[in-house]
Amino acid sequence: MPVVRERRGRVLIARLDRAEKRNAMNGEMTRGLDAALGELDEDPELWVGVLTGTAGVFSAGSDLRDGEHNDTERGGPYGLIRRKRAKPLIAAVDGLAFGGGFEMVLACDLVVAARNASFALPEVKRGLLALYGGIFRAAHALPLNVARELVLTGDALSAERAERLGLVNALCEPGCALDEALKLAERICSNGPIGVRASLRVLNESIDAGDALAWQLSREGGEAVRRAEDTLEGVAAFFEKRTPRWKGR
């Protein structure tokens, strides 16, 4: 299975496990993650979730060759991006979290990162747009000009800088992100679950209430990008491993 589930007491671990494709999300992975998060939602014995990847890579985002079925009824893209969750979800990031991978991190509540982790929204390098909330969620999680830097350059943000800027809650050595995330999960589990969930709801829903316009603008921006000649050129250049030849139309 490309998404492996494991229970550690009251904590559910969901591991993205398609390392040969840098854990790029396709329909099968989306269904697996949606099912894992459904288990977290519905099982009263589970209080916290941890989302992680494999050694050296969290996720490279959508599989551009096989990413046409990445939407779910309950959670939207990847089964996670627009999911209404009652229980905390921690991202344990070892290695790169690019594109949709970073957008999954931004959809979580807390972030633990190894020092070899990096975060990026590289869509503009391919003439595309980050459609899964990354643009405005980056602006929630980071200083505005840093979010602009990520969105407009497509360049990566190191784990150390992300920790200094407040995106990352805990920084650790490579290979230790899951263990550190589990420690954080246990700290949460030591508290009253009803109070935790009520607090999380206040935090997340107050932010989500202001995001309706941002989602609308993302849809409109996505339509404009899809109609552009540069979009085909950017994707072709990515697969052909060459520099795109932009036309601005």
Mean pLDDT of 97-103: 98
Lowest-pLDDT range of 61-65, 78-82, 189-193: 61-65
Do 142 and 224 lie in one domain? The reply is: no
- The closest of 17, 46, 33, 154 to 98, measured between CA atoms, is 154
The answer as to whether 25 is a domain residue is: yes
Where in the sequence numbering do the catalytic residues fall? 103, 123
Where a domain ends, among 133, 156, 173? 173
Do 222 and 165 lie in one domain? The reply is: no
For residue 68, pLDDT over 90 is answered with: no
Do 140 and 211 lie in one domain? The reply is: no
Question: Using one digit for the tens of pLDDT, what is the confidence trace for 5-55?
Answer: 999 999 999 999 999 999 999 999 999 999 999 999 999 999 999 999 999
Model pLDDT, residue 97: 98
Do 166 and 204 lie in one domain? The reply is: no
Model pLDDT, residue 228: 86
Distance spanning both ends of the chain, measured CA to CA: 41
User: Count of domains in the chain?
Assistant: 2
* DSSP H or E run through 112: strand 110-114
Do 161 and 229 lie in one domain? The reply is: no
Do 56 and 120 lie in one domain? The reply is: yes
Do 211 and 125 lie in one domain? The reply is: no
pLDDT band at 1 (very low <50, low <70, confident <90, very high): confident
Expressed as residue numbers, the domain containing 61 is 3-173
Model pLDDT, residue 67: 62
Model pLDDT, residue 42: 97
Model pLDDT, residue 235: 82
The answer as to whether 195 is a domain residue is: no
Phi, psi of 52 (to 5 degrees): -140, 175
The answer as to whether 249 is a domain residue is: no
Interstrand relation of 57-59 and 96-98 (parallel, antiparallel or unpaired): parallel
Model pLDDT, residue 237: 85
Do 28 and 120 lie in one domain? The reply is: yes
Model pLDDT, residue 201: 96
Do 169 and 210 lie in one domain? The reply is: no
The answer as to whether 123 is a domain residue is: yes
The answer as to whether 213 is a domain residue is: yes
The answer to whether the CB of 56 falls within 8 A of the CB of 95 is yes
Residue 68, helix vs strand vs coil: coil
Do 21 and 120 lie in one domain? The reply is: yes
Lowest-pLDDT range of 58-72, 90-104, 186-200: 58-72
Do 24 and 132 lie in one domain? The reply is: yes
Model pLDDT, residue 126: 87
Report the CATH number at residue 116. 3.90.226.10
Question: Using one digit for the tens of pLDDT, what is the confidence trace for 128-173?
Answer: 999 999 999 999 999 999 999 999 999 999 999 999 999 999 999 9
Question: Using one digit for the tens of pLDDT, what is the confidence trace for 166-214?
Answer: 999 999 999 999 999 999 999 999 999 999 999 999 999 998 888 888 8
The answer as to whether 9 is a domain residue is: yes
Do 155 and 218 lie in one domain? The reply is: no
The answer to whether the CB of 157 falls within 8 A of the CB of 118 is yes
Q: Give the CA-trace dihedral at 86, 213, 101, 198, to 10 degrees.
A: -10
Q: How far apart are CA 183 and CA 177, in angstroms?
A: 10
For residue 90, pLDDT over 70 is answered with: yes
Model pLDDT, residue 191: 98
The answer as to whether 186 is a domain residue is: no
The answer as to whether 182 is a domain residue is: no
Q: Burial of 28 by CB count in 10 Å (0-12 exposed, 13-18 middle, 19+ buried)?
A: middle
